[in-house]
Every structure is written in C-alpha cells, then in structure tokens.
Amino acid sequence: MTASPPLRVGIAACLFHRDAARPVFNGKPLYYVESSMARWVASQGALAYMVPEPQGPSQVERIADDLDSLVLAGGVDMSPRSYGEEARKPEWSGDAVRDDYELTLVRAFVARAKPVLGICRGHQVLNVAFGGTLHQDILTDVAGARVHRDPVPYDQLTHEIDIEPGSSLSLMYGGATRARVNSVHHQAIKTPGKGVIVEARSSEDGVIEAFRVEGAAYVRGVQWHPEFAHPTPTGQLDSAVVLTDFMAAIDRRKNEKDRGESR
C-alpha cells in the first residue's frame, strides 16, 4: 500500500518592508517565518511552506489549490483601516499591506473549505475577515484590563483563561474549563465577526482568547502562541492539542475530497 503524502501547510509570511535605515540585507524587503512556528507546524509530520505575497489573483488561486491548509502567524498590528477605523495613535497604524495579503489568502482558502488556523495576530485577522473589529489597545479600551504584553518577560508572560463549557475547545482538552496560556499582544477582538463563536476569554478581564467560525469547514483562532510553548511548559495548556485538532481537520478535508473525486 502506498503511504499517504504528507499534509502541506502554508504559513503566511511576516513582512519586513523596504527600509534604507535597516542594515540587514541593506534595507531590502524581506519575507520571513519564525523558526518556532515552522518547527511547531512540522512537529506532527506535515510539510511547512512559507507563502510569499501572491503576484496577482491567479497566483492566489494556485496557492490555495495547491496547499492543504493555511496558518496565520503573529506579528505587527493590523491597520485599523482594515476594519473601518482610523488609528488613534501613530504607533497603532499597523501594516495594511500585510492585512490585504493575509485577508486575500483567507478568502481563497475558506472558499475551498480548506482549514485555516490563526495565531495571535492571525486570530485577529480571521475575526476581521469575517467582519469583526479590534481593540486598538487593550489597556486603553478595556476597563480593568490586565497587561497582555510585556516586552521584558515576553513569551514567559502567562495568565488564566476561562474556556466555554461544552465548546469544541473544551472538548479538545478533555472538558477543561480553566487553563493557563502565554500572552504577547496589546490588541484584541472587540466585535466578533459573522459566525464567530467565542470559546475562551481571559479570566481577569474577559478579553477574547479563542474562537471558531460557525458554518466554515474549519476556521479557528487562538490569541496565545502555542508555537512558543512547544514543548509545553508545566502548567500551560498543551500546545500539541491545537495542532493535532488542526491536522485532523486537514486530513478529513483531504479524505472527503479524495472520496468525491473517486466517485
């Protein structure tokens, strides 16, 4: 029996735009993926591919046809203009170029019912893709908010989350309703998008930490970074479980497609 080919997971690239003041590569524009993300995606046998900005609509279609799934990684803020607002501070202006690139990919993969997982910024991008909005700054916008991003402990900053009982996230973790995750973000979901079902919130201030999209084949967002917690530190939510669930969804999608083509 011929072994099934490995799953092909596209990871949307982080962008360094042209910058004459940057000494690395003489300021040329760069695409990159953090090694922790690539290693995490590949840890269960999938092939991880960085996806550069598509050169035109036909290339978007070819990318979405070729790959089995899409991961949206963390990084710079979204531009408030991407969800119909203006930045209230210059430092919250975000990256509209990366927004357009990632939103275009999301639409193409969702249209093909191919699984999409959003992490941190990617969690926020998915919410915006379905018509939602963001808090430009949690400490400014959310009364009684805890600190969700501290550059000193960085990915060692953690907090508790409350998981919705009976939700798919709770079922993934054996019925858990409370857990601890890392926290590296200052923006967050304000208004959930169409079909966005909230599955976890920060225990202290109610900030949305996880969701799935109702009706989509598989679209899930988590505000924490499971790739930063692999292998999982003691006391934190097992980072492998989110990936296992994602890989299972990709397998189901491929098997359904193969059965359909064999009829």
| Separation between Cα atoms, residue 248 and residue 217, nearest integer Å | 12
* Mean of pLDDT values over 163-173: 98
* Mean of pLDDT values over 194-208: 98
The sign of the CA dihedral 106, 110, 115, 118 is: positive
Whole-angstrom CA distances from 84 to 50, 138, 198 are 29, 18, 22
Q: What is the pLDDT of residues 60-92, one digit of tens each?
A: 999 999 999 999 999 999 999 999 999 999 999
Fold entry, domain 8-262: Rossmann fold (3.40.50)
Q: Residue 262 pLDDT > 90, yes or no?
A: no
Establish whether 185 is a catalytic residue. no
Map tokens 């988590």 to a residue. 222
Average pLDDT, the chain: 95
Percent of the chain's residues with pLDDT above 70: 97
pLDDT of residue 245: 98
* Mean of pLDDT values over 178-200: 98
| Separation between Cα atoms, residue 114 and residue 108, nearest integer Å | 9
Query: Which candidate in 102, 120, 148, 186 is catalytic?
Result: 120
Establish whether 227 is a catalytic residue. yes
Provide the whole-model pTM. Answer: 0.95
Q: Are 93 and 87 in contact (CB under 8 A)?
A: yes
Whole-angstrom CA distances from 156 to 58, 197, 202, 232, 233 are 42, 28, 16, 12, 10
* Mean of pLDDT values over 34-52: 97
Count the Cβ atoms, other than its own, within 10 Å of residue 160: 13
Q: Residue 137 pLDDT > 70, yes or no?
A: yes
Establish whether 148 is a catalytic residue. no
SS3 content of the chain, % helix, strand, coil (to 5): 35, 20, 45
Q: Residue 1 pLDDT > 60, yes or no?
A: no
